[in-house]
């Protein structure tokens, strides 16, 4: 019989902790650890995978304009109230991690820093799960509001983002001062991913506080390419390159629900089957493939898809 | 077509111009050369002229400030003649040709800048000493007069006498010489000097002169660079170098690099103009040599040229366009020895011109001459030759194998395409130190004159010092925010290297983020080309025992700073050997020795060429090199702690 081959990796993925409990200076009920992998995804026989991948529920500060009915129907009652939205996903859907997207801060919509501060204060008061905070995507505006968010949530050990190679200094300085973690976004490019990690750690932020967003594509929209880039990054990390041995965050919902196959209504393509099944399946399959590629944090939207992916993770980790 | 008179000041030259002709082309027709790094595309903003009188039409450009527009400043390439004009050309817009100081010429031809005197120049230690056997040899003969017992023809009589000296089975002689032979032999009492030229495997009786001129035989070695043309006048009998010269290649006015020139050659009369620009420059150098050395032009019997493939095509007026079209095939890599006059080069009318053979479209005879002169081809250990230029050529190998590639680095290190860049000539900032606490800048210029711009070595120093002082981050973005030397502009942040008072151009000399990006790309192209070549051969930089640095630019380089920015690999300093203008040294060897020419032919055939543009790994390597010093810091273990 052929002996099972075991690879002895020289490196391991950095462990990042999100959320600080009372003991740790924050007010979260628990903290979440991601990363720490000593081998490739799901190779439990080979070495340790100490932490399960986690799923964050996406919550917006304004009603999203491009979410299809299949998503909207779950959040109809809370779309105009981000605090209620956050409460709903925690209390009703048992979310253990919230990803707050501050889309309303975008210059075209123009929510003020004051409104955002108030929202964050309320969320911190009302809820005790760890937080991910994402800016509006406009560099200048993000450089204004994210440092404020960082201050308001000081010592809560949030995961804040995103920074890019062209705009990382302002937020990195805030995150460093306020004890948070950072999301480093690169455009499906291992070199830029690594360069950005070097630039951030050159400013003094430890590598254990960086999560990489490698930028992903949904099923049918570049998922294979995403997979190969994530795999190469992970292999480099396991081979001992500390600089890019960061856990991954993947914005699954955002990508999957952009696909025509996910969001088209029943009447548009009757032969494609029901949107209520098609949409969540699209998000779910994208998520499970990204888990195979090494995703540590999945940011998702559809409660049913999230439930299924959680089941999948539980099942995989129970063997 | 309506004609107008255009007068240029301060030259006070007036020429006729057509309505609609650009000021740039009018200036060229007046023999006035204006800076135009982009080849008249309106991109570089170097061709600023001042309108004194008359009407013009111009196109909008972001390269002029509102203030400049108010002063009547226009870009010559975007502005056309609409009436009689008076135009002033400011100093900074001029291409200063021919005005290299003897000291600069010296630098271009060999050694290093400043503290580098201890590094040997290329011809003293390196390379092979080939048997003395120049391209053209003179032989004095006293022929036995014919009589009834010895009635062979004049020509056979000449051959018989030559063969008493040399074993040459096949000889040829042109009809023009044969026509004159009978008369020359009889009028000079059968005492003649023949010039024997080596032409493509046979020997030609190039020249027959009355009486003994054999002591007077001169040749020229040329290195025809994209930016600079260097030449040596050599006594072919004694092998002595009688003089050296360097001028700027006047083709620069048509574009900074080979690609823009190939494109220009497609325009009407473009090839003709490019050809004349180089030939005129060479003839001018020859004229000066002849006058200075008090020799007769007729005693200059041969010319040997080394240049990249495009330069040789343009010299010989061969259509170059196929060089830049897939699959990148030149018309000729091996050009047979021709009569110099056919190419328009004025030496003895029957004198010869030979070119060092090239490997491919982008690895030319200059590289082959470089390999020959630095002796890379006979090294036991693995060596690398890096010619840092607009088109960076890299050769890896030893006595067993030779591989090469070319990297399109762009002209940033030669001072083009960067906002305050200039060639390494008088007034160029060439050495820079930045105080890491105060960010004060100390610099020295070539010729110790007031600063006019920054040359390649200056840029390398500036980048390395800015990294060390923490003014820029490893991706090249300026991170320092508040300082008198830092300014926000519409092109991003800029850093003032020299304030107005320290310059002769009435404005600050700066480096901005766009410049840094250009320089980063240039260094990434050179480094990644070297590392891809090594990867192809399954070796690593640490396996390389010697690195020869060639090129005009290579003369000024600070090795340590070049390592800090990741242009050169992080190896021990003593592995780097400056070979200066190795192309010219090779051309000289070939001019003086037929075996050297045979060796060059052999090398050109032997060097394997890798086309990087079709290599899937090149882009990946290049992207990884777009960082200071490199994304993979493990490749620069000694630099790690310096920045």
Alpha-carbon distances of B565 from A289, B106, B480, B520, B630, rounded to whole Å: 40, 28, 18, 8, 8
Q: Among partner residues B474, B623, B633, which is closest to A191 by beta-carbon distance?
A: B623
Quote the pLDDT of residue B38.
64
The whole-number pLDDT of residue B118 equals: 28
- B129 versus A55: the higher-pLDDT residue is A55
Give dist(CA B340, CA A275) in Å, integer. 80
3-state secondary structure at position A28: strand
Q: Mean pLDDT over residues B464-483, rounded?
A: 94
Find the range with the poorest average confidence among A158-167, B371-380, B485-494: B485-494
Nearest to B220 by CA among B306, B144, B147: B306
B624 neighbourhood in chain A, CB within 8 Å:
191
B126 pLDDT higher than 50: no
Place of tokens 């380089």: B557
pLDDT digits (tens, 9 = 90+) for A305-317: 999 999 999 999 9
Q: Which residues pair with B554 in a beta bridge?
A: none
Size of interface A-B (CB pairs under 8 A): 29
A-interface mutation test, from B467, B470, B471, B475, most A Cβ less than 10 A away:
B475
Largest CA distance in chain B: 100
Supply the pLDDT for residue B37.
Answer: 63
Asked if the Cβ–Cβ distance from B474 to A165 is below 8 Å, we say no
In eight-state DSSP terms, residue B503 is: B
Q: What percent of chain A has pLDDT over 90?
A: 97
Please, are residues A194 and A168 in contact by the beta-carbon 8 Å criterion?
no
Place B245 in a pLDDT band, splitting at 50, 70 and 90: confident
User: What is the number of alpha carbons within 13 Å of residue B120 lying toward its C-beta?
Assistant: 9
Report the pLDDT value the prediction gives residue B556, as an integer from 0 to 100.
Answer: 66
B642 Cβ under 8 Å from any chain A Cβ: no
Distance from the Cα of residue B265 to its chain's centroid: 18
Q: Which of B474, B623, B632 sits opposite A202 (nearest CB)?
A: B474
Residue B441 to chain A, least CA–CA distance (Å): 24
Q: Which residues pair with A98 in a beta bridge?
A: A57, A131
Any A CB within 8 A of B620 CB: yes
The residue of chain A with its CA nearest to that of B472 is A199
Please check whether residue B623 touches A, CB under 8 A: yes
Task: Kindly report, residue by residue over B387-427, the tens digit of the pLDDT.
Answer: 887 788 999 999 999 999 998 887 788 777 788 988 777 88
Distance separating alpha carbons of residues A300 and A55, to the nearest angstrom: 7
Nearest chain A residue to B630 by CA distance is: A195
Q: Which of A169, A193, A195 to mutate to test the interface with B (most CBs of B within 10 A)?
A: A195
Percent of chain B with pLDDT over 90: 61
Q: Please check whether residue B410 is in contact with residue B441, taking contact to mean a CB–CB distance below 8 angstroms.
A: no
Task: Give the CA distances from residue B8 to residues B46, B58, B85, B258, B428, in Å, rounded to whole numbers and listed in that order.
Answer: 17, 18, 8, 29, 26
Average pLDDT along chain B: 88
Degrees to nearest 5, angle at CA B371 with B369 and B373: 65
What average pLDDT does the segment B516-533 reach? 95
pLDDT given for residue B383 in this prediction: 96
Interface test with A, best of B480, B627, B630, B639 (most A CBs within 10 A): B627
pLDDT tens by residue, B98-124? 445 555 555 544 433 322 222 233 343
As a whole number of angstroms, the distance between CA B178 and CA B201 comes to 21
Are B87 and B58 contacting, i.e. CB atoms less than 8 angstroms apart? no
B27-82 pLDDT, tens digit per residue, is 877 777 777 766 677 767 778 899 999 999 988 877 788 888 888 899 988 899 99
DSSP label at A137?
S
Q: Closest residue of B to A190, CA-based?
A: B624
Do you find a cis peptide bond into B16, omega within 30 degrees of 0?
no
Residue B248 pLDDT > 90: no
Nearest to B631 among A166, A169, A194 (CB): A194
The answer to whether residues B378 and B399 touch, using CB atoms and an 8 Å cutoff, is: yes
Q: Rounded to the nearest 5°, which phi and psi values hold at A14?
A: -65, 145
DSSP A248-314: EEE-HHHHHTTSHHHH--TTT-GGG--HHHHHHHHHHHHHHHHHHHTEEEEEE--HHHHHHHHHHHH
Distance separating alpha carbons of residues B504 and B166, to the nearest angstrom: 61
Residue B34: name the closest of B82, B84, B83, B73 by CA: B73
Report pLDDT digits (tens) over A15-58: 999 999 999 999 999 999 999 999 999 999 999 999 999 999 99
Q: What digits encode the pLDDT tens for the residues B540-551?
A: 999 999 999 987
Residue B204 has a CB neighbour count (10 Å cut-off) of 22
Test B475 with A194 for CB contact under 8 angstroms.
no
pLDDT (tens digit, 9 = 90+) per residue, B180-217? 999 999 999 999 999 999 887 789 999 999 999 999 99
List CB contacts (< 8 A) between A169 and chain B.
473, 479
Q: Looking at the complex, does the CB of residue B473 fall below 8 Å from at least one CB of chain A?
A: yes
Q: How far apart are CA A97 and CA A37, in angstroms?
A: 20
Residues A228-287 pLDDT 10s: 999 999 999 999 999 999 999 999 999 999 999 999 999 999 999 999 999 999 999 999
A191/B624 Cβ within 8 A:
yes
Chain B CB contacts of A166 under 8 Å are 477
Name which of B156, B158, B205 is nearest B185 in CA terms: B158
pLDDT band at B555 (very low <50, low <70, confident <90, very high): low
pLDDT of residue B59: 85
Relative to beta strand A159-163, strand A131-134 is: parallel
Residue-wise pLDDT tens digits, B613-640? 888 899 999 999 999 999 998 899 998 8
Global pTM value: 0.80
pLDDT in tens, B287-319: 999 999 999 999 999 999 999 999 999 999 999
Does the interface ipTM go beyond 0.85?
no
Q: Structural domains in chain A?
A: 20-318 (3.20.20.20)
Residue B288 contacts residue B220 (beta carbons within 8 Å)? no
- Residue B155 pLDDT exceeds 50: yes
Q: Give bridge partners of residue B503 from the DSSP assignment.
A: B451
Examine the pLDDT at B261 and tell me if it is beyond 50.
Answer: yes
Whether A198 and B474 lie within 8 Å, measured CB to CB:
yes
Least confident of A26-35, A293-302, B164-173: B164-173
Question: Are the Cβ atoms of A165 and B475 closer than 8 angstroms?
Answer: yes
Beta partners for A164? A167
B433 and chain A: CB distance < 8 Å anywhere? no
pLDDT score at A155: 95
Strand partners, B296: none
- With CB atoms and an 8 Å threshold, state whether B631 touches A191: yes
């Amino acid at each position: 019989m052929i002996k099972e081959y075991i690879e002895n990796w020289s490196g391991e993925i950095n462990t990042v902790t999100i959320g600080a409990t009372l003991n740790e200076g924050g007010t979260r009920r628990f903290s979440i650890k991601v990363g720490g992998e000593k081998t490739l995804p799901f190779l439990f026989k080979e070495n340790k995978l100490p932490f399960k991948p986690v799923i964050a529920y996406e919550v917006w500060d304004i009603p999203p304009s491009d979410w299809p009915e299949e998503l909207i129907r779950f959040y109809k009652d809370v779309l105009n109230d981000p605090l209620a939205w956050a409460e709903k996903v925690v209390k009703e859907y048992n979310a253990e991690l919230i990803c707050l997207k501050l889309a309303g801060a975008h210059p075209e919509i123009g929510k003020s820093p004051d409104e955002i501060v108030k929202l964050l204060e309320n969320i911190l008061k009302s809820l005790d799960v760890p937080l991910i905070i994402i800016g509006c995507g406009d560099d200048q505006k993000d450089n204004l509001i994210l440092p404020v968010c960082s201050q308001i949530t000081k010592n809560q050990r949030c995961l804040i983002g995103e920074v890019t190679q062209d705009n990382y200094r302002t937020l990195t300085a805030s995150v460093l001062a306020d004890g948070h973690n950072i999301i480093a976004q690169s455009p499906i490019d291992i070199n830029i991913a690594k360069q950005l990690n070097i630039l951030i750690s050159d400013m003094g932020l430890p590598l254990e506080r960086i999560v990489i967003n490698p930028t992903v594509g949904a099923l049918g929209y570049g998922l294979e390419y995403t997979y190969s880039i994530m795999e190469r990054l992970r292999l480099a990390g396991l081979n001992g390159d500390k600089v890019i041995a960061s856990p991954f965050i993947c914005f699954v919902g955002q990508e999957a629900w952009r696909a025509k196959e996910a969001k088209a209504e029943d009447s548009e393509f009757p032969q494609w089957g029901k949107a209520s099944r098609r949409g969540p399946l699209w998000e779910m399959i994208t998520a499970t493939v990204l888990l195979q590629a090494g995703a540590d944090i999945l940011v998702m939207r559809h409660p049913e898809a999230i439930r299924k992916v959680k089941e999948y993770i539980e099942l995989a980790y129970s063997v | 077509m309506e004609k107008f008179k255009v007068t240029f000041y301060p030259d006070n030259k007036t020429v006729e111009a057509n309505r609609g002709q650009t000021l740039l082309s009018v200036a060229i027709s007046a023999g006035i050369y204006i800076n135009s790094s982009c080849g008249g595309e309106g991109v570089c903003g170097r061709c600023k002229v001042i309108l004194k009188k008359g009407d013009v039409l111009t196109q909008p450009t972001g390269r002029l400030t509102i203030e400049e527009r108010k002063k009547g400043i226009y870009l010559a390439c975007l502005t056309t003649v609409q009436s009689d004009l008076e135009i002033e050309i400011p100093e900074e817009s001029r291409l200063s040709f021919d005005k290299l100081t003897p000291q600069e010429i010296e630098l271009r031809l060999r050694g290093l800048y400043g503290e580098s005197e201890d590094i040997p120049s290329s011809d003293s230690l390196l390379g092979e000493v080939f048997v003395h056997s120049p391209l053209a040899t003179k032989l004095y003969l006293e022929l036995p007069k014919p009589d009834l017992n010895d009635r062979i023809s004049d020509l056979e009589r000449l051959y018989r006498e030559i063969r008493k000296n040399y074993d040459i089975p096949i000889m040829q002689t042109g009809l023009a010489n044969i026509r004159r032979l009978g008369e020359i032999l009889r009028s000079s009492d059968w005492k003649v000097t023949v010039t024997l030229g080596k032409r493509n495997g046979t020997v030609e009786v190039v020249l027959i002169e009355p009486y003994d001129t054999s002591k007077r035989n001169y040749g020229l070695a040329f290195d025809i660079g994209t930016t600079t043309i260097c030449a040596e006048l050599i006594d072919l009998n004694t092998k002595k170098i009688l003089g050296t010269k360097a001028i700027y290649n006047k083709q620069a006015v048509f574009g900074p690099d080979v690609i823009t020139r190939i494109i220009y050659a497609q325009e009407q009369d473009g090839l003709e103009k490019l050809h004349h620009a180089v030939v005129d420059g060479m003839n001018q150098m020859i004229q000066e040599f002849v006058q200075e050395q008090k020799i007769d032009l007729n005693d200059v019997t041969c010319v040997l040229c080394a240049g990249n493939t495009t330069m040789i095509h343009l010299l010989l007026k061969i259509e170059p366009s196929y060089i830049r079209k897939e699959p990148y095939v030149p018309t000729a890599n091996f050009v047979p020895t021709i009569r110099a006059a056919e190419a328009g080069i004025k030496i003895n009318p029957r004198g010869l011109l030979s070119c060092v053979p090239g490997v491919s479209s982008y690895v030319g005879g200059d590289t082959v001459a470089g390999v020959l002169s630095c002796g890379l081809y006979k090294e036991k250990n693995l060596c690398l030759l890096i010619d840092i230029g607009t088109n960076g050529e890299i050769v890896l190998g030893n006595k067993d194998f030779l591989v090469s590639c070319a990297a399109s680095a762009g002209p940033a290190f030669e001072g083009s395409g960067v906002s305050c860049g200039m060639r390494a000539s008088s007034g160029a900032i060439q050495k820079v130190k930045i105080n890491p606490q105060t960010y004060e800048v100390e610099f020295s210029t070539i010729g110790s004159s007031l600063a006019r711009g920054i040359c390649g070595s200056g840029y390398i120093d500036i980048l390395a010092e800015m990294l060390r002082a923490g003014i820029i981050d490893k991706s090249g973005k300026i991170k320092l925010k508040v300082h008198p030397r830092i300014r926000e502009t519409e092109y991003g942040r800029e850093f003032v290297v020299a304030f107005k008072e320290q310059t002769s151009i009435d404005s600050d000399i700066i480096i901005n983020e766009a410049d840094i990006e250009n320089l980063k790309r240039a260094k990434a192209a050179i480094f990644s080309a070297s590392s891809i070549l090594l990867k192809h051969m399954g070796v690593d930089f640490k396996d390389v025992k010697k690195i020869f640095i060639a090129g005009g630019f290579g003369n000024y380089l600070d090795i340590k700073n070049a390592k800090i920015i990741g242009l050169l690999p992080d190896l021990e300093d003593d592995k780097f050997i400056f070979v200066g203008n190795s192309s010219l040294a090779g051309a000289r060897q070939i001019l003086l020795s037929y075996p050297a020419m045979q060796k060059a032919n052999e090398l050109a055939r032997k060097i394997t060429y890798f086309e990087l543009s079709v290599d899937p790994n090149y882009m990946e390597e290049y992207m990884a090199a777009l960082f200071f010093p490199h994304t993979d810091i493990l490749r620069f273990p000694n630099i790690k702690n310096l920045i």
